[in-house]
């Protein structure tokens, strides 16, 4: 069994630097390569000519320019198809144009004009005017978020000395074990046993397991068991054939849940899963649940909710400005950016809520409080009865006997010759000492 006080890797410059490089690198690749292709795959099938229109006009993918499509005549389509053409004014009729490149175009040479920071979309279904989408305004946020998500997934799989989130997860395993120890009062060794993955528990010395399990069993005696006629002892349920994994996961976890709370039991189970992730990195969900449920959702839930409301405010402003015609319909980049911002924040809030531990049911909390109060009342009642018996013994039916005993004792003391002589001798000695001191 590994030591309970294993050291965690401290988060430093290396993990943060690698995380930043991965986030911006993946975000850059996504923004300049996957966003254009994804936009084309989404827009072109929606607004390209229908089949009946395709019988009248041609529609060509100008592969020489990359992600560029445009309508042309049937003759030009047959002429240039398969030749890896570049778009040119003489080839197109200007009815359908889809350009998702960041290359500048001019009307004289290409038949339409745009800058090197715009996508160009024109189709009859979108109106008479072309739509210009500025990807740096519309998609920068979503590109950065996707880079961040991939960074998280990759650094979870990396060693803790290099991966930021691997180090965060390892640190959280250590913190949750400490919280379990403080909340339960169990020793480090017992917490180690309680949070050990199932596959490793069978490798621990059975005598050590028995000793740890016995401590947990004896400590988690509920009030119901204390007042029951027959209390189930540890030796009644444990023998040499007991399945240690089943006994821990069912019997001990249930007793911990009833004695402490459901939250403590959940901490133990999630910590066990987190330790399993530390051995098998591809079990990302187990490590993610530990980190999200016991750190992120507790510490940042209000921040995420506030950010989501802030994103909604930005989106409302963008839509309002668009309604006032200050954002032209042909340039919707700011609206798209606000939509993706709010989508990102709402997705983050959804993940946070998904991993937030549910509050313990109110009826269970009240029942536990009722049991505790009843136990305290029973103890006070017992103390009251004892005090009542003592008061009866002092001032009740035995008062005459006590009075007679006291009088007899005083009389015996005063009539004893030895006591009288002793008191006289002490008085004479005190008088002599006083006289000598006065003469001096």
Same domain, 197 and 93: no
Q: Determine what percent of the chain is predicted with pLDDT higher than 70.
A: 78
The pTM assigned to this predicted structure is: 0.75
Which residue range(s) make up the domain with 330? 160-355
Same domain, 205 and 337: yes
Same domain, 429 and 330: no
Please indicate, yes or no, if residue 53 is contained in any of the structural domains: yes
Number of domains in the chain: 4
Same domain, 333 and 410: no
Contact present, 130 and 120 (Cβ < 8 Å): yes
Q: Which of 7-16, 126-135, 315-324 has the highest mean pLDDT?
A: 126-135
Q: Which of 293, 327, 355 is the C-terminal boundary of a domain?
A: 355
pLDDT for residue 375: 47
Q: Which of 355, 379, 409 is the C-terminal boundary of a domain?
A: 355
pLDDT for residue 396: 52
Question: In Å, what is the CA distance from 295 to each residue of 301, 355, 378?
Answer: 10, 10, 40
Please indicate, yes or no, if residue 413 is contained in any of the structural domains: yes
* DSSP at 333: H
Same domain, 195 and 49: no
pLDDT for residue 345: 93
Same domain, 382 and 432: no
Sign of CA dihedral 176, 263, 369, 387: negative
Please indicate, yes or no, if residue 2 is contained in any of the structural domains: no
Same domain, 76 and 200: no
CA-based nearest residue to 57, from 43, 42, 78, 41: 78
Please indicate, yes or no, if residue 4 is contained in any of the structural domains: no
d(CA 276, CA 88): 60
Same domain, 170 and 42: no
Least confident of 203-207, 320-324, 340-344: 320-324
Please indicate, yes or no, if residue 280 is contained in any of the structural domains: yes
- Over residues 352-377, the mean pLDDT reads 61
- Over residues 278-285, the mean pLDDT reads 92
Same domain, 174 and 95: no
Q: Determine what percent of the chain is predicted with pLDDT higher than 90.
A: 55
Same domain, 117 and 197: no
Same domain, 191 and 243: yes
- Over residues 153-169, the mean pLDDT reads 94
Q: For the chain, give the mean pLDDT.
A: 83
Q: Would you say residue 195 has pLDDT above 60?
A: yes
Please indicate, yes or no, if residue 320 is contained in any of the structural domains: yes
Q: CA 281 from chain center: how many Å?
A: 18
Please indicate, yes or no, if residue 148 is contained in any of the structural domains: no
Label the pairing between strands 97-99 and 68-72. Answer: antiparallel
Please indicate, yes or no, if residue 6 is contained in any of the structural domains: no
Residue 128 burial (CB count, 10 A): 7
Same domain, 104 and 176: no
CA-based nearest residue to 198, from 149, 250, 137, 260: 250
Q: Would you say residue 354 has pLDDT above 80?
A: yes
- Over residues 417-429, the mean pLDDT reads 57
Q: Of residues 394 and 129, which shows the higher confidence score?
A: 129
pLDDT in tens, 386-419: 566 655 655 555 556 655 665 666 666 555 555 5
- Over residues 305-327, the mean pLDDT reads 89
pLDDT for residue 81: 78
Q: Number of H helices and number of E strands within the chain?
A: 22, 5
SS3 83: coil
């Amino acid at each position: 069994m590994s030591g309970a006080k294993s050291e965690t890797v401290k988060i430093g410059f290396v993990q943060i630097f690698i995380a930043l490089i991965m986030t911006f690198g993946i975000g850059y690749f996504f923004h300049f390569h996957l966003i254009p292709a994804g936009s084309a795959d989404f827009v072109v099938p929606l607004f390209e000519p229908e089949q009946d229109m395709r019988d009248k006009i041609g529609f060509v993918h100008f592969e020489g320019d990359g992600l560029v499509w445009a309508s042309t005549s049937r003759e030009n389509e047959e002429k240039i198809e398969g030749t890896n053409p570049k778009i040119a004014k003489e080839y197109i009729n200007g009815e359908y144009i889809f350009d998702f490149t960041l290359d500048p175009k001019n009307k004289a040479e290409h038949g339409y004009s745009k800058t090197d920071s715009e996508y160009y979309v024109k189709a009859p279904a979108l109106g008479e005017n072309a739509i210009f989408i500025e990807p740096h305004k519309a998609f920068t946020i979503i590109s950065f978020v996707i880079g961040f998500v991939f960074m998280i997934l990759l650094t979870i799989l990396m060693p803790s000395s290099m991966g930021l989130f691997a180090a965060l997860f390892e640190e959280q395993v250590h913190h949750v074990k400490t919280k379990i120890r403080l909340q339960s009062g169990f020793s480090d060794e017992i917490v180690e046993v309680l949070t050990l993955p199932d596959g490793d528990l069978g490798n621990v010395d059975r005598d050590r397991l028995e000793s740890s399990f016995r401590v947990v069993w004896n400590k988690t005696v509920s009030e119901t068991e204390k007042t029951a006629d027959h209390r189930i002892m540890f030796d009644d349920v444990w023998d040499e054939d007991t399945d240690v994994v089943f006994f821990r996961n069912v019997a001990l976890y249930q007793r911990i849940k009833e004695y402490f709370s459901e939250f403590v039991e959940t901490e133990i189970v999630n910590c066990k899963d987190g330790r399993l992730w530390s051995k098998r990195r591809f079990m990302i969900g187990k490590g993610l649940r530990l980190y999200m449920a016991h750190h992120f959702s507790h510490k940042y839930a209000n921040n995420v909710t506030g950010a989501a409301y802030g994103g909604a405010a930005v989106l409302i402003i963008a839509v309002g400005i668009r309604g006032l015609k200050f954002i032209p319909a042909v340039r919707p980049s700011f609206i798209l950016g606000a939509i993706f911002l709010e989508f990102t924040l709402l997705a983050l809030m959804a993940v946070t809520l998904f991993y937030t531990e549910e509050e313990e049911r109110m009826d269970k909390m009240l029942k536990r409080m009722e049991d505790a109060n009843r136990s305290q009342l029973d103890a006070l009642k017992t103390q009251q009865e004892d005090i009542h018996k003592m008061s009866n013994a002092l001032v009740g039916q035995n008062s005459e006997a006590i009075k007679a005993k006291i009088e007899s004792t005083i009389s015996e003391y005063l009539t004893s010759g030895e006591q009288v002589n002793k008191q006289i001798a002490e008085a004479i000695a005190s008088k002599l000492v006083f006289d000598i001191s006065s003469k001096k």
